[in-house]
Amino acid sequence: MVTLMAPDATAPTSDSSTDVRPGSDAGDTTTDLDTASVRDLNQALHDSVGAASWTVTKPGGKHSLAVGITADVDVTIEGHAGYYAAGMLQKGRVTINGNAGVGLAENIMSGTVHVRGDASQSAAATGHGGLVVIDGNAGARCGISMKGVDIVVGGNIGHMSAFMAQAGRLVVCGDAGDALGDSIYEARIYVRGSVASLGADCIEKPMRAEHLEELGALLAAAGRSEDPSDFRRYGSARNLYHFHVDNSTAY
């Protein structure tokens, strides 16, 4: 274990096997954010090569931690993260042993983000792919405009979740707030608890064998033990796809 202190930490330039540098594949690197800056952390993560492993201590709710990662790295944040943690993740796995602020894993492309606590609003917003697991609750607008990301929430989610969702799967082991799936296109939503209300054009749909199977796989991927048959499925009624002829007289 080494501690990243220097602000000029850069990618390894030599193949020296004795020199443990941030981002090398020689083991675990610890970055203490009491001393290192977020910019240094992210730059070092961007510069890392190989299957590196990172531990971030004293995050203190700082924003934009571990964003834009394009390397196959494991990042563990020991504490609470601020806004936009693990945003734009393209590769690797980010684990937050605490809560995450607004915009967790925003625009995630692939890889895995796991929050052991709660996540604030707009978790996994606009996510294109990958898996976002939140063990606790997620706030309002979870999965807003999701475009292919899979989201598994152990607790409840807030209002307007999966708003204008286009693709992907949202799994909620607790309850969902008001206006779930408002103006949804094609994402699939599975909720185990109650739904306060469904949004425009979102309806309950039957759970067929293929849905039980995909839900089982998502729960397993998230390390959860819920029974897929306890969930209900929601999705698009597809009534908002096209212009409604009755409105033609409005012009």
Partner 1 sequence: MCGIAALQLRNPSLHPRMGSLLSSMLCQIVDRGPDSAGLAVYDTPGLVSDGTSTVSLLGKHHGMEIDGILTSLNDMLSPDARSTVKIIGDTTLISAAVPTALLVKAVGETLPASTIIGRGEHVAVMKGVGHPMDIAAHHGLESMAGSQGLSHTRMATESAVTASGSHPFSVADDLCLVHNGSFSNHATVRRNLEREGVVFDSDNDTEVGARYIASRLQQGDTLEEALINLGKVLDGFYTLVVTTADSMAVVRDPIACKPAILAETEDYVAMASEYRALAALPGIERARIFEPEPGKVYTWSL
* Diameter of the chain measured on Cα atoms: 77
In whole angstroms, give the CA distance from residue 209 to residue 241: 27
7 binds partner 1 (CB under 8 A): no
Q: How many residues bind partner 1 (CB under 8 A)?
A: 18
Contact 157, 142 (CB under 8 A): yes
**Which one, of 174, 132, 135, lies nearest residue 157 by Cα?**
174
Q: In this structure, are residues 180 and 197 in contact, taking their beta carbons and an 8 Å threshold?
A: yes
The least CB distance from residue 171 to partner 1, in Å, is 21
* Cα 30 from Cα 39, distance rounded (Å): 15
Count of alpha carbons within 13 Å of 43, Cβ hemisphere only?
A: 13
Query: 154 near 135, Cβ under 8 Å?
Result: yes
**59 vs 235, beta carbon nearer partner 1:** 59
Give least dist CB 33 to partner 1, A: 10
Binding to partner 1 (CB under 8 A) within 92-131 occurs at 99, 101-102, 118, 120-121
Please give the residues from 29 up to 68 whose contact with partner 1 meets the rule CB under 8 A. Answer: 60-63
Span interacting with partner 1, options 22-30, 42-50, 78-86, 228-236, rule CB under 8 A: 78-86
Residue 49 or 200: the one with the smaller Cβ distance to partner 1 is: 200
Among residue numbers 150 through 169, which ones bind partner 1 (CB under 8 A)?
A: 158-160
Tokens linked to 203: 């309806």
Q: Which helix (H) or strand (E) holds 219?
A: helix 209-221
Rank residues 108 and 138 by Cβ distance to partner 1 and give the closer one.
138
Report, in Å, the least distance between residue 243 CB and partner 1: 28
Question: To the nearest whole angstrom, how small is the minimum distance from the Cβ of residue 48 to partner 1?
Answer: 25
Interface with partner 1 by CB under 8 A: which residues? 60-63, 80, 82-83, 99, 101-102, 118, 120-121, 139-140, 158-160
